[in-house]
Amino acid sequence: MTRRILAPQWLFDGDDLLADMAVVVEDGTIAQVVPRPADIRPQPGIVAPGFVDLQVNGGAGLMVDASSDADALSRICAAHRALGCAGILPTLITDRPEVTARVLRAGIEAARRNVPGFLGLHLEGPHLDPRRAGAHDPALIRPMSDADLSQLVQAASRLPALMVTVAPEAATPAQVAAMSRAGIIVSLGHSDCSAAEAQAAFAAGARSATHLFNAMSQMGHRQPGLVGAVLAGDVHAGIIADGIHVDSTALAVALRARGTGLFLVSDCMAVAGSALSEFTLQGRRILRREGRLTLPDGTLAGADLRLDRALRTVVAAGASRARALAMATSIPANLIGAPLGRIAAGRPADLVWLDQDLTLRGTADDPDC
Which residues have CB under 8 Å from 147's CB, separation 6+?
A: none
Helix or strand or coil: residue 340? coil
**Residue 292: CB atoms within 10 Å:** 18
**Residue 114: CB atoms within 10 Å:** 8
Q: Of the listed 65, 148, 242, 267, which one is catalytic? A: 267
Can you tell me the distance from the alpha carbon of 335 to that of 309, in angstroms, rounded to the nearest whole number? 22
Asked whether the beta carbons of 252 and 224 are under 8 A apart, the reply is no
Give exposure, 241-278, as e/b (b: 16+ Cβ within 10 Å). Answer: bbbbbbeeebbbbbbeebeebbbbbbbbbbbbbbeeee
Can you tell me the distance from the alpha carbon of 129 to that of 254, in angstroms, rounded to the nearest whole number? 24
The vertex-102 CA angle with 101 and 105, nearest 5°, equals 90
**Residue 203: CB atoms within 10 Å:** 11
Q: Secondary structure of 14-64 in the HEC alphabet? A: CCCEEECEEEEEECCEEEEEEECCCCCCCEEEEEEECEEEEEECEECCEEC
CA 194, distance to chain mean position in Å, is 25
Output the CA–CA distances (angstroms, integers) from residue 286 to 55, 71, 190, 193, 294, in the order listed: 18, 24, 20, 28, 5
Active site includes 267?
A: yes
Active site residues: 267
